[in-house]
Structure 1
Amino acid sequence: MTILWNLIKSFFCYIWFTINFLKKLIFNIIFLLLVIIIGYYIYNIDYNNQINNLNKNKKHILEIDVQYLTDDMINQNNIFLKFFNKILNLSVTNSTFQVAQAIHHAKTDKNISGIVLNLSDCMVEDMNTLSYIGKYLNDFKTSGKPIYAIGDMYNQNQYYLASFANKIILEPHGYVDLHGLSAEHFYFNSLLKKLKIKLNVFKIGDFKSAIEPITRDNMSQNTKIIEKKLINNLWGNYLKTVSNNRKISIQNLLPKHKDLIQKLKESNGNLALYALKNKLVDSLSTKFDFNFDMMKKFGLDLYNQTYNHINIDEYINQNLKQNKKNNIAVITINGILNYGIESHNIINEINQVYLDPAIKGLILKINSPGGSLTAAEYIYNSLISLKKVNKPIVVSMGEVAASGGYFIATAGNYIISDINTITGSIGIFSILPTFNNTLKNFGIYSDGVNTNIGLENSIYKELPLQNKEIIKINIQGGYDQFIHLISNSRHKSIKDVKKLANGMVWLGKDAKKNGLVDSIGDFDSAIEKISELTKIKMKNISLKWFEDDTDFLPLNLLDFFSFQKNNSVLLFNNIFPSLVNYYLQKDLLKNNLLLPKQQINDPRNIYAIYNLNN
């Protein structure tokens, strides 16, 4: 029996030893493969850098092939960023400021003969960003060097950027898609009624449209008037810019329906030929023919078997070196304001500016529709503390700086808006859904005891009258604070501020006319203003960009890790579920990110947000 037991024991020990050996072998092989792959790509990157350095004195075309542009600064020397982008074939994100500075540097660079805008993969949707790059392209053209734009087809944003080129090339089977702007949204009120979900709505601002998707089944007349005016002005600015760039009339750029049909018939329905005949583009050419033409003009790159060119990333890496002795900070507030880690990170960045004696001022870039009122208040208070130590703040508004975004902007010494910035939306709201009737349908009830009868806050019971009264007082107090804050910072009477409030939104030029901002301009205007306020000469300004700690990895890696943090049903307490959507989703979808269950969070459930519906 003992012998049998020893045999069985030996057999299982052998099996266990074999499994352990195989496990270690497999892990070692995987580890070795990873080392080889990483080594290969690092060598590849370094080798390509050496090739570029060898060719540094040759004449090149600067090729700008951007997919996404960010307001943050990108570390071009980050080996991890390069590795993950290359091995996983991820979308490349460039810094708007770095691309603009590269174009500016290329203007006087003897080794740069021109620029090619390769726009087939360009997914930049922020018109303010495109306009900023366009300004530098126009300046580049004054050097006499040509700019070529090429694309398979051009959507509206791609075509806007292409219009700054000397020559626009379109694939023979491509087209230019100009269709205008629209403002549409889904409405869920009837669905919520069918589910017997009761919404307790508390709002100040007749024009506050953010809550309409869950309180109505259509767009209100007030919102239609405001949105129609906004998109008409935005589209008018678009057409004016493109028309001036292409030196064609707006009627030719976007003919009336009858004329369009006639011109399409004349082109036999060929959209590329239509674009050529109507001077939307300058020539029709395949990429192969375009490359061959560029090789004849600018020479052959034997290593890459194409025309002599340098990619924008490598050009930035070689020519734009960051100064470590910074004296002006740049902090960016992007997207929906959330109370918690996001808002604390922004406050921590402001605190670093406060504590750093070398930093003399702050440029605050805001591209946010607002969000949590509490988060906005905390950030605002941190900025006020910064001003108390004589560190001036210049606010540079992006595509949108409305509601909570505008709340924060009022802390600035000076506010600069783009002509197309959407701002204002001065108003706040709170929504508390209750599910007692929904649960009752399924025979589910909630009951228990409470130390403060009438003050319990449960989504499974009717909202008590006492709670409603408290929320109303909080909402009114928050709105009054918002109004007084604007009155003090913009030097306006309470009466005048209320005329501009009530949830109404304004484009940059109207905001300037109404005194909500100080001037129309861009990031360069903000640098000039901070130079004036800090008395630091422009040539001595050195920017310190604050970035998220997670920036060393591409955001698109989240595509590979889009798992839910919890598997529970959607929580409705302290969130406004319908607003999970627009601004955040717009930003995430255009970057191919699939993030689960993002929440707009405020501890008091009070929000100052403009829901951008375009």
Structure 2
Amino acid sequence: MKSFFKYVLATITGTIIVFAILFIVMIGFITATVSNMGSKEEVYVPSSAVLYVSLDYDIPERTSSNPWESMSLPGYGEMKSLGLNDIISRIAAAKEDDRIKGIYLNPRYVNTGMASLKEIRDALVDFKSSGKFIVAHSDVYTQKAYYIASVADEIYMNPEGSLEFKGLSASIMFMKEALDKLGVEMQVVKVGTYKSAVEPFILNEMSDANREQMTAYLGSMYSAFLENVSEGRQISADTLKNIADNFLIRNADDAVQYKFIDGKCYKDEVLSKLKERLEVDEKKDVPAVSLLDYNKDGKTETKGDRVAVLYAYGDIVDGEGMEGNIGGDKLSRELRKLRRDDRVKAVVLRVNSPGGSALASDIIAREVELTKKVKPIMVSMGDYAASGGYYISTMADSIFAEKETLTGSIGVFGLIPNLQGLLNNKLGIRVDEVKTGKFADLMTSVDRPLTEEEKVIIQGEVNRIYDTFTGKVAAGRNMEVSTVDSLGQGRVWTGSQALEHRLIDGIGNLDRAIQAAAAKAKLKDYSIRYYPTQKDPFAELFSTSKERIKMWMLDDELGEYRKHIDQLRAVLKSSGIQARIPYRVEIR
């Protein structure tokens, strides 16, 4: 008995100690978080400093108010990110900041799409127009990293480093053979010769139509890529293409020979060059502030007329949605609020989406149409605004995109898995049911194939939604339905191609769309406000879900392979009829 009480007491004591430690850790974590939130207001910028820009972190469309970022989780390191909006605004602020004399660009791996990359590059070009310098250095230049670096006045590379310049490629992972082995059949109902979102589940290679469209839009994107590098380095596009086609740059010596870089040097030598530019003593450190820490002065006006920028990024889903996707109900509510707000004189819808639910897309498109009747509404497209992403854009007054934006993909599909082979033959599982009508389990039963009659019903609905889609585009773009159908069929276009086919109104970034909105509203003095309004960071601290923390850890473990899992989950979790781009194009 004495031994029993000893063990019970030890257990209770141990439990108390554990809870006490956890409580102390939590208090310390919260204190550090609050301190971190407050410290952002007091970043010191030395005189005659450089702005350090690396871009080796997650770049979402908009900076999150999440206070957990820039903090470390045990075993997972810092969870850094900075939104495209803040990257561009901070570079613009540095252009006007007398304390900032130049930019030290240190790109290596850049985690964002080509259209977003072009917006960052344009901001750097604008920075240079002030007469300030940009010096780039890296141990390794991926193609995206070099694309950004090509804007610099001087580019340097580690003598033993590498530089990739070999042309663009895009690949698709096909899973039909794996699904066949598992006994899973993906039943497809679609409209659109080029609607290839379902191909990875039913084929082992690209269809001819899909290969045709991929070749066309990758070539268009490559032309824009070469054009910008050519402008930055004063090397003809034809020469650049020849260098890439023959893989002529394999090391630092090759990069110097073909004038891709201005010299080979180690980091300490680059820092010495920066000190010379800044007239800093060689024994002192380079005065610098990181783009992650640098904050522009708070000059946002809250009075008078407003142009509202409403962000819509991620997959389009039914209902409210979650952070990182576009909930049909949530975005529609935001549009209604802006339409009824007398202070808001014009709206810019910033779309970066591969599409998703056709129903949610239609709900949002209706609110865009209603807003257009009350006040100007423009669309600014990011990396993607395709399928459902184009659907929600088409009723706007004007649409602007970058040359590298992927858009169009006007098409619809339904994907219904049949798991009968997996359940019966692989797992020995049988399903039996009773129903009040022969269609009672339509679109819900996954343990049997569709009947011919069910296929006809679903195909009819897919056709009807496609007709609605093309009709909306025809009305919004002032085209004949037959013309829209010829441009549709699920085909993906770059911004350059979309402009030729009148699917968009101009090439330009978010600023151009804002200026167009203000001009149509006849505004001269106005402020820009961003929506949806973000949560208070401290409130966000206590609302962070277990799912989000799990996703952060998954990101750290899987790295670049996370995108394949996300793509598979997005399609398999899709319910109802979908208007979705086939895949995301990764450029290296």
Question: Residues 369 and 405 of structure 1 are in contact (CA less than 8 Å); yes or no, is this contact kept in structure 2?
Answer: yes
SS in 2 for 1:439: helix
Choose the corresponding residue for 1:337, options 313, 316, 324: 316
Query: What amino acid maps onto 2:400 in structure 1?
Result: I
Q: Which residue of 2 aligns with 1:19?
A: 11
Residues 1:154 and 2:146 aligned together: no
Residues 1:604 and 2:576 aligned together: yes
SS in 2 for 1:279: coil
Cα deviation digits, residues 505-544 of structure 1 (max 9, x gap): 222222222221122211111111110222222x423222
Question: Residues 347 and 382 of structure 1 are in contact (CA less than 8 Å); yes or no, is this contact kept in structure 2?
Answer: yes
Structure 1 residues 364 and 520, CA, compared in 2 at 3 Å: closer, same or farther?
same
Q: Which residue of 2 aligns with 1:477?
A: 464
**Cα offset, 1:556, TM superposition:** 13
* Structure label with greater radius of gyration: 1
**Cα offset, 1:48, TM superposition:** 9.1
CA distance in 2 between partners of 1:598 and 1:202 (Å): 19
SS in 1 for 2:415: strand
Query: What amino acid maps onto 1:68 in structure 2?
Result: D
Choose the corresponding residue for 2:403, options 403, 419, 432: 419
**Cα offset, 1:38, TM superposition:** 5.7
Structure 1 residues 171 and 555, CA, compared in 2 at 3 Å: closer, same or farther?
farther
Question: Residues 366 and 405 of structure 1 are in contact (CA less than 8 Å); yes or no, is this contact kept in structure 2?
Answer: yes
**Cα offset, 1:286, TM superposition:** 1.0
CA distance in 2 between partners of 1:257 and 1:396 (Å): 32
Q: Which residue of 2 aligns with 1:543?
A: 529
Q: Which residue of 2 aligns with 1:142?
A: 129
Residues 1:409 and 2:397 aligned together: no
Question: Residues 166 and 244 of structure 2 are in contact (CA less than 8 Å); yes or no, is this contact kept in structure 1?
Answer: no
Structure 1 residues 85 and 490, CA, compared in 2 at 3 Å: closer, same or farther?
farther
CA distance in 1 between partners of 2:59 and 2:78 (Å): 14
CA distance in 2 between partners of 1:114 and 1:204 (Å): 52
CA distance in 2 between partners of 1:563 and 1:63 (Å): 25
CA distance in 2 between partners of 1:592 and 1:202 (Å): 25
Residues 1:104 and 2:92 aligned together: yes
CA distance in 2 between partners of 1:257 and 1:88 (Å): 37
Query: What amino acid maps onto 1:329 in structure 2?
Result: A
Cα deviation digits, residues 102-147 of structure 1 (max 9, x gap): 2223223222211111213x42331112211222222222222211
Query: What amino acid maps onto 1:298 in structure 2?
Result: L
Q: Which residue of 1 aligns with 2:516?
A: 529
Alignment of 1:3-14 (within 5 A): 8=1, 12=4
Name the stretch that deviates more: 354-363 or 132-141: 354-363
**Cα offset, 1:409, TM superposition:** 0.7
Residues 1:589 and 2:560 aligned together: yes
CA distance in 2 between partners of 1:602 and 1:370 (Å): 11
Q: Which residue of 2 aligns with 1:131?
A: 118
Structure 1 residues 181 and 413, CA, compared in 2 at 3 Å: closer, same or farther?
same
Alignment of 1:368-387 (within 5 A): 368-387=353-372
Question: Residues 395 and 475 of structure 2 are in contact (CA less than 8 Å); yes or no, is this contact kept in structure 1?
Answer: no
Query: What amino acid maps onto 1:364 in structure 2?
Result: L
Question: Residues 487 and 493 of structure 1 are in contact (CA less than 8 Å); yes or no, is this contact kept in structure 2?
Answer: yes
SS in 1 for 2:193: coil
CA distance in 1 between partners of 2:353 and 2:581 (Å): 9
Residues 1:292 and 2:292 aligned together: no
Q: Which residue of 1 aligns with 2:324?
A: none
Structure 1 residues 289 and 37, CA, compared in 2 at 3 Å: closer, same or farther?
farther
Question: Residues 63 and 81 of structure 2 are in contact (CA less than 8 Å); yes or no, is this contact kept in structure 1?
Answer: no
Query: What amino acid maps onto 1:323 in structure 2?
Result: E
SS in 2 for 1:236: helix
The unaligned stretches of length 5 or more in structure 2 are 322-326
Q: Which residue of 2 aligns with 1:430?
A: 414
CA distance in 2 between partners of 1:491 and 1:602 (Å): 31
Question: Residues 361 and 393 of structure 1 are in contact (CA less than 8 Å); yes or no, is this contact kept in structure 2?
Answer: yes
CA distance in 2 between partners of 1:84 and 1:609 (Å): 35
**Cα offset, 1:209, TM superposition:** 1.5
CA distance in 2 between partners of 1:508 and 1:425 (Å): 12
Q: Which residue of 2 aligns with 1:398?
A: 382
SS in 2 for 1:396: strand
Q: Which residue of 2 aligns with 1:561?
A: 550
**Cα offset, 1:178, TM superposition:** 0.9
CA distance in 1 between partners of 2:567 and 2:466 (Å): 32
CA distance in 1 between partners of 2:199 and 2:332 (Å): 31
Residues 1:517 and 2:496 aligned together: no
Question: Residues 374 and 603 of structure 1 are in contact (CA less than 8 Å); yes or no, is this contact kept in structure 2?
Answer: no
Structure 1 residues 15 and 456, CA, compared in 2 at 3 Å: closer, same or farther?
closer
CA distance in 2 between partners of 1:41 and 1:436 (Å): 51
Q: TM-score, normalised by structure 1?
A: 0.83
Residues 1:490 and 2:489 aligned together: no
SS in 1 for 2:316: coil
Query: What amino acid maps onto 1:544 in structure 2?
Result: Y
The unaligned stretches of length 5 or more in structure 1 are 1-7, 566-583
Alignment of 1:156-235 (within 5 A): 156-235=143-222
Choose the corresponding residue for 1:113, options 78, 95, 101: 101
SS in 1 for 2:448: coil
Query: What amino acid maps onto 2:62 in structure 1?
Result: D
Q: Which residue of 2 aligns with 1:63?
A: 52
Structure 1 residues 117 and 450, CA, compared in 2 at 3 Å: closer, same or farther?
same
Structure 1 residues 293 and 400, CA, compared in 2 at 3 Å: closer, same or farther?
same
CA distance in 2 between partners of 1:216 and 1:124 (Å): 30
Residues 1:501 and 2:488 aligned together: yes
**Cα offset, 1:364, TM superposition:** 0.9
Cα deviation digits, residues 59-114 of structure 1 (max 9, x gap): 21122233232221455xx7654545999632422222222222223223222211
Question: Residues 490 and 516 of structure 1 are in contact (CA less than 8 Å); yes or no, is this contact kept in structure 2?
Answer: yes
Q: TM-score, normalised by structure 2?
A: 0.86
Query: What amino acid maps onto 1:295 in structure 2?
Result: K
Alignment of 1:256-295 (within 5 A): 271-295=251-275
Name the stretch that deviates more: 492-501 or 476-485: 492-501
CA distance in 2 between partners of 1:21 and 1:596 (Å): 48
Name the stretch that deviates more: 443-452 or 490-499: 443-452
Question: Residues 313 and 353 of structure 2 are in contact (CA less than 8 Å); yes or no, is this contact kept in structure 1?
Answer: yes
Q: Which residue of 2 aligns with 1:452?
A: 437
State the identity as a percent: 26
CA distance in 1 between partners of 2:530 and 2:353 (Å): 21
Structure 1 residues 588 and 348, CA, compared in 2 at 3 Å: closer, same or farther?
farther
Question: Residues 220 and 496 of structure 2 are in contact (CA less than 8 Å); yes or no, is this contact kept in structure 1?
Answer: no
Name the stretch that deviates more: 453-462 or 215-224: 453-462
